Chains A and B, each alone.
Chain A
Amino acid sequence: MTAIIEVKDLVKVYNGSIRAVDGITFDVAEGEVFGFLGPNGAGKTTTIAVLTTLLQKTSGECKVCDIDVSKHPTEVRRSIGLVPQEMTVDDDLTGRENMILQATLYGVDMKVAKERITELLALVKLEEAADRMVKTYSGGMRKRLELSEGLIHRPRVLFLDEPTLGLDIQTRTTMWDHIRDLRKNSNMTVFMTTHYLEEADSLCDRIGIIDKGKIMALDTPIKLKESLGGDVISLKISGEMDFTEPIKSVEGVLSVKKEDGSYRVKVFNGETVTAPLLQEISKRGGSVTYVSLERPNMDQVFLEYTGRSLRDAEQSGSFDRMAAARQMRRSS
């Protein structure tokens, strides 16, 4: 695996005091879908802005495609695509005109561009709307146009900043499909940020959990979930008898908690432990009326590594203010 994005001790300080990115180090391998997961204001967009040459870092080292981002920004710009958080497609041009403009800006030969535009518009299912003004598009259509714009010059790395922010569930799923298709059909590296847990979980090969400008954890979604220490089997057993001890005796059971007639059993591997556990209970004369297996989700992972749930982090006012301050800086 060769690293296509290399970040070492990256720090970005705004206004001399707000440490938006506070010394992060990570590598992204070629062909990987890498995700930054964190609440608003965690430093995700700032990291993208530095990597896409829009922002000067305070200190640290950043390389994209083996090129130093601050030393040779134009070379970096040529090999990357950016789909920003805001809708930046031009309302007063048609979808196709937007694509042609983008192709020109990225120096794509017009003949090649025309073919690719047809191809890309078909990919994001906009061929019928291609010659309509973008102002008549829905939010999802704009975002899809934005995505296809980012692909016009076949970048080696595609940066997606909150690709599904503000989209409805159905459109979000379509966007996910597009991103999955990209991955399947090319060796393009995708670096994305999101604050949707399910998005990170279902799309990314590896996830960096970022909070307050620091990476709290970085691994594959499966490993991150495993690191929480196992699955939970919930059981309901009829009758008054206490089955705590028999349950504990089953191999693989880590702990048992009993509340009235229901048990929460923490086990190492839910799939292999469930059957022996049920057998043991029926052997002791218990009859199980309800069973469910819960695997840890990204929400629990986030909670584990940052000490707060993602929703809490989103709601904390000071973070929103900082995020707003950053947003203002960013747009300047």
Chain B
Amino acid sequence: MIRETTALMVRELKHWYRAKVQIFMLLIQPIVWLGLFGQALPLKLPPAMLNGAPDYMSYMSVGMLAVTALFTCMFAGMSVVWDRRFGFLNKLRAAPIPRGSIPVSRILAAMIRAVISALMVLLIALIFTHIPGLAGLTVTSNFDILSGLGMILILVLLATAFAAIFVAIALTIKTQETLFAVINLLNLPLMFASAALFPINSMPDWLQAVAKVNPLTLAVDGMRQLLFAGSIGIYPLWVDILGLLTFSVVLVIIGIVVAMRALKEK
């Protein structure tokens, strides 16, 4: 099980780092967001409104990390559809491997890609702060190794949850066009009905209710508490992490069950 899963995961990761353009496009997006969107929308909000972030760009940068993880996981779904199209999935189905290794390897690969991409965006945001004329992420907390590990843990849990959703969806949905439609249907509400880009207290009540149970909200809420001094979260940090853990465990289980059903011979 472990041997096959690792082999398949390595294959996915090789695809990823060999597709330089894909990585470039993925990173260009947050750069454009940070560089343009932040400039065009100079929200002047007090740190109290921003989870303790010193300025809106710092606030949004954290959101960008989570959104990058979301978008990267989305691509994991695309590769599943391609593999089906080229018969690679059938080749795996004909091999004497536990079927579970197919979704698990993909979820793991997507998670690793998502975390690496998010960390690259973090680096970009940190650099942007020091470039005159640009704005980025200013860390105000006493950031130590423990906070660093906390950030990675949050990103890992968030990415695992999303990867599981998208891999399961892609294994169930057979065509690329339908998958695109479904992904879009999921992505935008997930992104906007959360605390990723805008503070939720200015949202209408119903949207706030949705945003409060969105895993993106939990992730950014947790990360902001780690990055900004005096950040008062929507939830305490441990609730954020426990919530994300629950999300990822439940979604991975659902994802694997759905994937196994989709892979079963008819």
Q: Which residues of A contact B (CB under 8 A)?
A: 52-56, 73-75, 77-78, 80, 82, 84-88, 90, 92-93, 97, 100-101, 104-107, 329-332
**B95/A106 in contact, CB under 8 A:** yes
Note all chain A residues with C-beta closer than 8 A to B18. Answer: 92
Note all chain B residues with C-beta closer than 8 A to A105. Answer: 4, 7-8, 92, 95-97
Which partner residue on chain A sits nearest B6 by CB separation? Answer: A104
Note all chain A residues with C-beta closer than 8 A to B11. Answer: 90, 93, 101
Chain A-chain B contacts (Cβ-Cβ < 8 Å), number: 73
List B43-71 residues whose CB lies under 8 Å from chain A.
Answer: none
B178 to chain A, nearest CB (A): 12
**B3/A104 in contact, CB under 8 A:** yes
**B91/A82 in contact, CB under 8 A:** yes
**B88/A90 in contact, CB under 8 A:** yes
CA distance A54 to B87 in the complex (A): 12
**B174/A332 in contact, CB under 8 A:** yes
Encode contact with A along B108-138: 1 for CB under 8 Å, 0 otherwise: 0000000000000000000000000000000
Pick the 6 closest A-B CB pairs, nearest first.
A86-B87, A77-B96, A104-B7, A88-B87, A78-B96, A105-B95
**B90/A84 in contact, CB under 8 A:** yes
Note all chain B residues with C-beta closer than 8 A to A52. Answer: 94
Chosen A-B contacts, 16 in total, with CB atoms closer than 8 Å, are: A53-B265, A55-B266, A56-B266, A73-B265, A86-B87, A87-B86, A87-B87, A88-B88, A90-B88, A93-B14, A101-B7, A105-B97, A106-B96, A107-B96, A330-B90, A332-B174
Identify which of B11, B94, B265 gathers the most chain A CB atoms within 10 Å of its CB.
B94
Known: A53-B94, A331-B84. 4 other contacts (CB 8 A): A53-B265, A56-B265, A92-B15, A101-B8
CA distance A92 to B90 in the complex (A): 18
Encode contact with A along B81-104: 1 for CB under 8 Å, 0 otherwise: 000111110111111110000000
Q: Check A88/B91 contact, CB under 8 A, given A93-B14, A101-B7.
A: yes
B41 contacts the other chain (Cβ, under 8 Å)?
no
CA distance A87 to B4 in the complex (A): 21
CA distance A317 to B83 in the complex (A): 29
A68 to chain B, nearest CB (A): 14
B145 contacts the other chain (Cβ, under 8 Å)?
no
List B1-57 residues whose CB lies under 8 Å from chain A.
Answer: 3-4, 7-8, 11, 14-15, 18-19
**B96/A331 in contact, CB under 8 A:** no
A88's contact among B4, B86, B97, by CB below 8 Å, is which?
B86
CA distance A82 to B91 in the complex (A): 8
CA distance A120 to B97 in the complex (A): 22
Identify which of B18, B86, B90, B92 gathers the most chain A CB atoms within 10 Å of its CB.
B90
**B85/A92 in contact, CB under 8 A:** no
Q: Check A77/B87 contact, CB under 8 A, given A92-B14, A92-B19.
A: no
Note all chain B residues with C-beta closer than 8 A to A77. Answer: 94-96
Note all chain B residues with C-beta closer than 8 A to A80. Answer: 94
B93's contact among A54, A75, A97, A329, by CB below 8 Å, is which?
A54
B95 to chain A, nearest CB (A): 4
Note all chain B residues with C-beta closer than 8 A to A55. Answer: 265-266
Q: Check A331/B87 contact, CB under 8 A, given A101-B7, A101-B11.
A: yes
Note all chain B residues with C-beta closer than 8 A to A54. Answer: 90, 93-94, 265
Which partner residue on chain B sits nearest A50 by CB separation? Answer: B265
Q: Check A86/B86 contact, CB under 8 A, given A92-B15, A97-B14, A331-B174.
A: yes
Note all chain B residues with C-beta closer than 8 A to A104. Answer: 3-4, 7
A58 to chain B, nearest CB (A): 10
CA distance A159 to B90 in the complex (A): 14
Which partner residue on chain A sits nearest B3 by CB separation? Answer: A104
Q: Check A88/B174 contact, CB under 8 A, given A77-B96, A97-B14, A105-B7.
A: no
Q: Check A331/B265 contact, CB under 8 A, given A92-B14, A104-B3.
A: no
Note all chain A residues with C-beta closer than 8 A to B91. Answer: 82, 84, 88
CA distance A22 to B5 in the complex (A): 38
Note all chain A residues with C-beta closer than 8 A to B88. Answer: 88, 90
Note all chain A residues with C-beta closer than 8 A to B266. Answer: 55-56, 329, 332
Note all chain B residues with C-beta closer than 8 A to A329. Answer: 266
CA distance A86 to B7 in the complex (A): 22
A78 to chain B, nearest CB (A): 4
CA distance A331 to B81 in the complex (A): 11
Which partner residue on chain B sits nearest A133 by CB separation? Answer: B18
B23 to chain A, nearest CB (A): 14
CA distance A59 to B15 in the complex (A): 41
